[in-house]
Amino acid sequence: MRIDIISVLPKLIESPFNASILKRAIDKKLIEVNFHDLKDYASSKRRQVDDYQFGGGSGMVMMIEPIKKCIDSLKKERKYEEVIYMTPDGEMLNQKISNKLSLKGNIIILCGHYKGVDQRVRDSLITMEISIGDYVLSGGELPAAVLCDSIIRLIPGVLGNETSALTDSFQDDLLAPPVYTRPSSFENLDVPEILLSGDKLKIELWREEKALERTKNLRPDIFD
């Protein structure tokens, strides 16, 4: 899988890919991630990629020309299944979206900045718009990193335990059950006896019951 990330500030997003699971996935060549500085596609000597809004108003708007030049340049090299724009008013990211995107071959992620992008970018170049929550950040770089992490960890071979990602919260529309590790007793706080019983069937039934209970109590919106 290949992910191309377009940003006005690519340095802002590079660090999450230089450690832990994402770095191992890149080192193992299970994923290729490339960062593109939008200013490299600007027409002016000042490398301008934003301008004032037509009609007035505060905030600068990312221009369509450098964005289209960058996307066109990438598309000359390969086919992309999705061109994603990170924006607060996009579709809310969830596990189903991450699962779907993890099966793609090549995707482009455009990070918004300033007041956003010229609407013509969204109308003619973008195939999918994603939000990570109902709040506004300084740019789309951090949301893009969140999206990438949620996708890359699902690619076979990335996690040490192949089944680990399949038992995460939301994979079956339920929150994950409680988990415990050594010691079995700590300051009068004990691990549930069922988990120490060795009875796999009873343990799985307990976990399913707890997952249902946690989801009903903590996220009634998805339980319903």
The pLDDT, as a whole number, for residue 194 is 97
Q: Given 118, 152, 186, which residue is the final one in a domain?
A: 152
**What value does the mean pLDDT take over residues 195-213?**
96
Instruction: For residues 128 and 64, state if they share a domain.
Output: yes
Instruction: For residues 16 and 83, state if they share a domain.
Output: yes
Instruction: For residues 57 and 25, state if they share a domain.
Output: yes
CATH number at residue 117: 3.40.1280.10
What is this structure's pTM? 0.88
Asked, for residue 159, whether it belongs to a domain, the answer is no
Instruction: For residues 188 and 140, state if they share a domain.
Output: no
Instruction: For residues 95 and 200, state if they share a domain.
Output: no
**What value does the mean pLDDT take over residues 51-75?**
96
Asked, for residue 163, whether it belongs to a domain, the answer is no
Between 166 and 87, residue with greater pLDDT? 87
Residues 6+ apart with CB under 8 A from 215: 173, 174, 175, 222, 223
pLDDT at 102 > cutoff 70: yes
Instruction: For residues 99 and 201, state if they share a domain.
Output: no
- pLDDT band of 223, cuts 50, 70, 90: confident
**What value does the mean pLDDT take over residues 19-47?**
96
Residue 90 in 3-state DSSP?
strand
Residue range of the domain that includes 10: 2-152
Instruction: For residues 147 and 194, state if they share a domain.
Output: no
The pLDDT, as a whole number, for residue 144 is 98
Instruction: For residues 103 and 212, state if they share a domain.
Output: no
Q: What is the mean pLDDT of the chain?
A: 93
Asked, for residue 209, whether it belongs to a domain, the answer is yes
**Structure tokens, 214:** 């946690």
**What value does the mean pLDDT take over residues 49-58?**
94
Asked, for residue 87, whether it belongs to a domain, the answer is yes
128-153 pLDDT, tens digit each: 999 999 999 999 999 999 999 999 99
Bond into 66 cis (ω within 30): no
User: Given 3-state DSSP classes, what are the helix, strand and coil percentages for the chain, each rounded to the nearest 5?
Assistant: 40, 20, 40
The pLDDT, as a whole number, for residue 165 is 59
- pLDDT band of 97, cuts 50, 70, 90: very high
Residues 6+ apart with CB under 8 A from 83: 71, 107, 108, 110, 125, 126, 127, 128
Instruction: For residues 108 and 181, state if they share a domain.
Output: no
Asked, for residue 68, whether it belongs to a domain, the answer is yes
Instruction: For residues 38 and 139, state if they share a domain.
Output: yes
Instruction: For residues 146 and 173, state if they share a domain.
Output: no
**What value does the mean pLDDT take over residues 198-219?**
95
Domain total for the chain? 2
Asked, for residue 162, whether it belongs to a domain, the answer is no
Instruction: For residues 31 and 138, state if they share a domain.
Output: yes
**What value does the mean pLDDT take over residues 161-187?**
78
pLDDT at 31 > cutoff 90: yes
